[in-house]
Amino acid sequence: MDMRWTVHLPRESASVPMARRLLVGAMETAGVDREIAMEIGLALSEACANVVEHARSGSRAEYQIRAGITGNCCRVEIIDGGPGFPSDRLHGITHVAGPAAENGRGLMLIRAMTDHVQLSNHPRRGAVLRFEKTLRWRKDALVQVS
């Protein structure tokens, strides 16, 4: 069974826990192992907090989250709706922050909680952060994955 969600949220700090609760609640209801669901929720919280804090002026007042489960994989995409990262900074942003760095710890945490992370710019959509995580299912899961 494939499941997909798309949510548009205001670029406000109150949207961060709301996004996490929506996704974690949906995954737990479907039967995703709680530890895995919480790791994905933490990664999503960090990504949403980054949008709220760092989206550049001129960005839309909302951002979009697309999430889906296909088989044993959860894919999440967060789109900030702004102009994206300056192209000369994009490569540096994708590297892990050093111990003295003032920014970049959120991406470090997202990498630690997920299996694959990609950061890019998309014309007309802004900065896009994608991550994936392999799922484990509870024995009583509503969704049966083979």
pLDDT of residue 115: 97
End-to-end CA distance of the chain: 10
- How large is the average pLDDT for residues 24-49? 96
Domains of the chain: 2-134 (3.30.565.10)
pLDDT band at 123 (very low <50, low <70, confident <90, very high): confident
Identify the three-state secondary structure at position 12: coil
- What is the rounded CA–CA span in Å between residue 112 and residue 123? 28
Return the beta strands (E) in the chain as ranges.
2-10, 62-70, 73-79, 116-122, 126-134
Task: Kindly give, in sequence order, each residue whose CB lies less than 8 Å from that of residue 99, ignoring residues fewer than 6 positions away.
Answer: none
Q: Which pLDDT belongs to residue 98?
A: 61
Residue 48's pLDDT band (boundaries 50, 70, 90)? very high
pLDDT digits (tens, 9 = 90+) for 50-99: 888 877 655 568 999 999 999 999 999 999 887 777 666 666 555 556 66
What is the pTM assigned to this prediction?
A: 0.86
In whole angstroms, give the CA distance from residue 54 to residue 40.
Answer: 21
Q: What is the arithmetic mean of pLDDT over 122-133?
A: 88
